[in-house]
Chains A and B, each alone.
Chain A
Amino acid sequence: MIRLGYIIISIAFFLIVCGIASGVERFPPPDFVETGYELPSPTTPQPRQNIYEYIDAVVLLAALGLASYLVLKKRSRRAIFVLMVFSLIYFGFWRKGCVCSIGAIQNITLSVFDRDYAVPIVVAVFFLLPLVFTLFFGRTFCAAVCPLGAVQDLVLLRPVAVPNWLESGLRLFAYAYLGTAVLLAATGSAFIICRYDPFISFFRLSGSLNIFILGACFLLVGVFIGRPYCRFVCPYGVILRQLSRLSKWHVAITPDDCIKCRLCEDSCPFGVIKVPTAEWPARDYDKSKKLLALLIILLPILILACAWAVSTAGDLMSRTHATVRLADRINLEESGKVKETTDASSAFWATGRQVKELYSEASNIQAEIKTGSWLLGGFLGLVIALKLIVHSVRRTRIDYEADRAGCLACGRCFEYCPREHVRLKEAKQTVGGSE
């Protein structure tokens, strides 16, 4: 009997020393014979009901439909603005900006690469609906539905033109951001789009100070440079650009015929109105033909060079994965380079898992991210090469028109077009006729 007591005490002592003794009954619960005390049970307040999520999806559908109608049929900047403010309030401040279409890219990616991860229906709807609408109507999502676009659109007071080459160069960041986000989501490392969403702190009116400062910077820049996040950062915008190029219907500056009056030329704060171009002189044509041939030959070299360059950052990127970080730390501790343990490493030691198992898991992830970084680099190389090729080709344009890819369908240019005023019967006489 005494022996048994010793064993129990030593086991209890061992567990206390280990500190892993969660849920061990060291002190048996009393049965309260005297007072008839009844054990309370912990409360479990329930999360927001599913039905509200479906309401969000319906509101998104309605907002997209209405935005497309307002942009293409009604052609009213004021109505688009009102819808935009509504979206900002509903999707931004009421729904706290989460889940959004931009972040949904990561959920979709993860579900492709992780067999066990299934995307909630609402997230899938948020990802797909704007894409489908863009394929039909252009970027009406950006115009009046996206709360991130709306908050930037509101602060745009003194638009400054950005030179074409700078705009195109800065946009490379968005491609790199999209690629990195997909890579890190696919390997289950992190959701960087969510982590660095600059406006989420405004929507929630709480959160990390750094993100709040980042958002404030974007808004400050946004006073002069229209929608900087949308144009140079937004990874969803990169996808929307490509679909918008193909869209079935698209915003037109003029309701019928362009009279080349040049009034709309400076109306776009995002610099996407393309002016008519004359045909090329023969000398320029030959020169650019040679340049094009050179660029096409350079294309594979550029892809390889970028792939190699980005792959050197593969190890750095793999540090975003918690398992890789933990394995590094454990390795340091095991080899005696550091004495003290961190929360993560002591949690690992407490589980009693094999160190080898952790190392192999971490090296698998590292290898995946390394492969991914080659692909990411190749993708960026391709984007750069295609950009160079597109810039060396000039198309003849007859009318003033909005660049299909870049146009955010905000509708600011409508009122600059005299034909629009004719349409609205505000002008009795056609401008073309008075000339």
Chain B
Amino acid sequence: MMAENNDSVTRRRFLRHSVWGACLAGLGGTTAFLGSKSRKTDTVWQIDPEICVACGNCSTYCVLEASAVKCVHAYAMCGYCKICFGFFGPEPFDITEAAENQLCPTGAIKRTFVEDPYYEYTIDESLCIGCGKCVKGCNTFGNGSLFLQVRHDRCLNCNECSAAAACPSGAFKRVPADRPYLLKRVDHA
């Protein structure tokens, strides 16, 4: 009885050792597989402005209190219009900077006079909530120089981006961390 017991113990031990070895080999294999596929540079989340429909989900779904997505202005594409569809609401009372005329819910767009009849529009990122109202206006009636981008000084780079999961157009993608922006450019082709 005793001898049999010992025998089974050694058998069990042998089995355990071999399974242990197999597990280690498996982990080694996984390491090799991942090593062969791993990227040198990390990736970060970014919005492709050509696909983005400015639905406004970014402002509410981001895990941060104030979304990491903000409006960015490609000045080179801007028409510097006096009546900007990204700045003024659909039926402004007056063409002035007064709050009731503005489209932006937080007044994050500053309108400054440059020369007649041109006005410069700059985004105050500390106020911008990434709702995309101005982006929609500018895309529909203007040059489309306003667009949404993930700002990487704020983004936590979550493994699954909550805003990306809520994006209706699939505009979110992972881009290399050394080129983290997908900026709109002038296309004079």
Residues of chain A having any CB pair with chain B under 8 Å? 16, 19, 21-30, 32, 34-35, 37, 39-42, 44-48, 50, 53, 96, 98-99, 103-104, 106-108, 111-112, 118-124, 128, 131-132, 135, 190-191, 194-195, 200, 204, 206-208, 243, 246, 248, 322, 342-344, 346-348, 350-351
- Interface residue? B169 (CB, 8 A): yes
Instruction: State whether B42 touches A120 (Cβ < 8 A).
Output: yes
Bound CA–CA A122/B43 (angstroms):
11
**What B residues does A45 contact at CB under 8 A?**
151-153
**What B residues does A21 contact at CB under 8 A?**
139-140, 144
Bound CA–CA A246/B16 (angstroms):
7
Contact pick for A22, options B50, B63, B114, B115, CB 8 Å: B50
- Interface residue? B19 (CB, 8 A): yes
Bound CA–CA A162/B38 (angstroms):
43
**What A residues does B95 contact at CB under 8 A?**
none
Interface of chain B residues 171 through 189 with chain A (CB within 8 A): 177, 180-181, 183-184, 186-187
Instruction: State whether B38 touches A35 (Cβ < 8 A).
Output: no
Instruction: State whether A128 touches B78 (Cβ < 8 A).
Output: no
Instruction: State whether A34 touches B115 (Cβ < 8 A).
Output: yes
Instruction: State whether A194 touches B31 (Cβ < 8 A).
Output: no
- Interface residue? B89 (CB, 8 A): no
Bound CA–CA A276/B33 (angstroms):
43
Report the minimal beta-carbon distance from A43 to chain B, rounded to whole angstroms. Answer: 8
**What B residues does A132 contact at CB under 8 A?**
24, 27
- Interface residue? B49 (CB, 8 A): yes
Contact pick for B75, options A39, A50, A118, A246, CB 8 Å: A39
Contact pick for B156, options A28, A98, A350, CB 8 Å: A98
Bound CA–CA A273/B130 (angstroms):
53
**What A residues does B114 contact at CB under 8 A?**
32, 35, 37
Instruction: State whether B39 touches A25 (Cβ < 8 A).
Output: no
Closest residue to B151 on the A side, CB-wise? A45
**What A residues does B80 contact at CB under 8 A?**
29-30
- Interface residue? B168 (CB, 8 A): yes
**What B residues does A200 contact at CB under 8 A?**
63
**What A residues does B72 contact at CB under 8 A?**
42
Bound CA–CA A37/B113 (angstroms):
11
Bound CA–CA A266/B142 (angstroms):
72
Instruction: State whether B79 touches A44 (Cβ < 8 A).
Output: no
Instruction: State whether B184 touches A119 (Cβ < 8 A).
Output: no
- Interface residue? B3 (CB, 8 A): no
Give the size range of B's interface with the partner: 35 or more
**What A residues does B181 contact at CB under 8 A?**
44
Write 29 A-B pairs (CB below 8 A) sorted by A numbering: A21-B139, A21-B144, A25-B143, A26-B142, A27-B79, A29-B78, A29-B186, A39-B75, A44-B181, A45-B151, A45-B152, A108-B34, A112-B33, A118-B39, A119-B37, A119-B39, A120-B39, A122-B42, A132-B24, A135-B24, A191-B160, A194-B159, A195-B160, A200-B63, A204-B64, A207-B162, A208-B63, A246-B20, A347-B169
Instruction: State whether A128 touches B159 (Cβ < 8 A).
Output: no
**What B residues does A46 contact at CB under 8 A?**
152-153, 180
Contact pick for B139, options A22, A39, A195, CB 8 Å: A22
Bound CA–CA A30/B114 (angstroms):
11
**What B residues does A206 contact at CB under 8 A?**
63-65
Bound CA–CA A328/B44 (angstroms):
30
Report the minimal beta-carbon distance from A371 to chain B, rounded to whole angstroms. Answer: 22
Instruction: State whether A27 touches B142 (Cβ < 8 A).
Output: yes
**What A residues does B75 contact at CB under 8 A?**
39-42
Closest residue to B40 on the A side, CB-wise? A121
Closest residue to B83 on the A side, CB-wise? A27
- Interface residue? B14 (CB, 8 A): no
- Interface residue? B158 (CB, 8 A): yes
Instruction: State whether B180 touches A118 (Cβ < 8 A).
Output: no
- Interface residue? B76 (CB, 8 A): yes
Instruction: State whether A24 touches B144 (Cβ < 8 A).
Output: yes
Closest residue to B187 on the A side, CB-wise? A23
Bound CA–CA A190/B115 (angstroms):
51
Given A120-B42, A195-B165, A343-B55, verify A48-B140 contact (CB < 8 Å): no
Instruction: State whether B159 touches A190 (Cβ < 8 A).
Output: no
Looking at A16, A29, A98, A248, the one whose CB has the most chain B CB atoms below 10 A away is A29
Report the minimal beta-carbon distance from A329 to chain B, rounded to whole angstroms. Answer: 10
Given A32-B115, A53-B42, A99-B159, verify A44-B180 contact (CB < 8 Å): yes
Instruction: State whether A42 touches B74 (Cβ < 8 A).
Output: yes
- Interface residue? B81 (CB, 8 A): yes
Bound CA–CA A248/B16 (angstroms):
10
Bound CA–CA A132/B160 (angstroms):
25
**What A residues does B74 contact at CB under 8 A?**
42
Report the minimal beta-carbon distance from A206 to chain B, rounded to whole angstroms. Answer: 5
Interface of chain B residues 42 through 79 with chain A (CB within 8 A): 42-44, 49-51, 53, 55, 57, 63-65, 72-79
**What A residues does B37 contact at CB under 8 A?**
111, 118-119
- Interface residue? B170 (CB, 8 A): yes
Closest residue to B125 on the A side, CB-wise? A43
**What B residues does A98 contact at CB under 8 A?**
156-159
Instruction: State whether B63 touches A204 (Cβ < 8 A).
Output: yes
Given A16-B140, A135-B23, verify A42-B73 contact (CB < 8 Å): yes
